Amino acid sequence: MQNDIKKVNAAIDYIEAHLSDPLNLDLVAGGVHYSKYHLHRIFTRTVGLTIHDYVQRRQLTEAAKLLVFSDKPMIEIALAAGYQSQQAFTSVFKSMYKKSPGQYREKKVFYPLQLRFVLNDCPMPADQSVEWQHEIRFAKVEDIPRWLDLVRLVIDGFPCLEEESYRERLLDCIHKNRALIVTDGGLAIGAMGLTPETGSIDFLGIHPQYRTQGMTQAFLKKAFSLLTEGTGISVTTFREGDKADPGYRDSFRELGFTEAELLMEYGYPTQRFILQRKDWEDASDE
């Protein structure tokens, strides 16, 4: 496991050093001298994204930063993001950010699709059984730095998230006992913001290296224990067909959530999903 993490870290280091170049699996594997088939398997399992998707998100994030914080011409930004033409860059950027590069620049608000991935060098083994629900606790103010580290790691699931305003909402959530967290050592590996009155999950982030260990199910079980009988859980996620969705929509479906109304949140098209207690119990029994 630790050897695989070292290999994935080497691949991430290579990608970060070559973000302005056209990159693909063959080039990254060659750059770190690993089999591309082996690297593809361990990278996807560890990060939760393929190398192609990770590279694309990282390059577009850096391009978005340049659009907001620099006066560089669009073609120069396109080339720096690894694209051979402004047209190709514009097409991919719009499919992921829901705005053209020009519209994004005019808005002057930066938010990332993907930040550099930071791995836990010593994660708890997946075959080690842990009752995660009993490890979940209410977050404290001193948990904010580790909570935000987790937010940066799972930023791919939260379009339009701007860190400073999020920090203010998180502080309010902590003071009202609506923020739940679980840690492994000093690392936040799961976090949830919950509004008990409505059953709304305002944030649910699970460290990718722990997603196969029943962490999400533990948070949902904890949420139901805090809700009054008859209150369902709701969460918003990507709409069907959104190319920016790395798989969150399917994950909620697998957990028993059903589709509800379409929404616009911070100017981004999303959809609400709802989980009733009975549906959750039926899914958990399968």
Short-list 134, 130, 131, 129, CA closest to 225 = 134
Distance of CA 113 to CAs 64, 83, 142, Å?
A: 9, 17, 27
At the second CATH level, the architecture of 2-107 is Orthogonal Bundle (1.10)
Task: Give the residue range(s) of CATH 1.10.10.60 domains in the chain.
Answer: 2-107
CA gap 132, 129 in Å, rounded: 9
Q: Half-sphere exposure of 202 toward its Cβ, with a 13 Å CA cutoff?
A: 16
Spatial contact of 255 and 283, defined as CB atoms under 8 Å apart:
yes
Per-residue pLDDT of the chain (286 residues; tens, 9 = 90+): 668 899 999 999 999 999 988 899 999 999 999 999 999 999 999 998 999 999 999 999 999 999 999 999 999 999 999 898 999 999 999 999 999 999 999 999 999 999 999 887 766 665 556 788 889 999 999 999 999 999 999 999 998 888 889 999 999 999 999 999 999 888 999 999 999 999 999 999 999 888 888 899 999 999 999 998 888 999 999 999 999 999 999 999 999 999 999 999 888 999 999 999 887 776 666 5
Q: In this predicted structure, what is the pLDDT of residue 1?
A: 61
Give CATH for domain 132-285.
Answer: 3.40.630.30
DSSP assignment of 225-259: HHSPTT--EEEEEEPTT-TT-SSHHHHHHHTT-EE
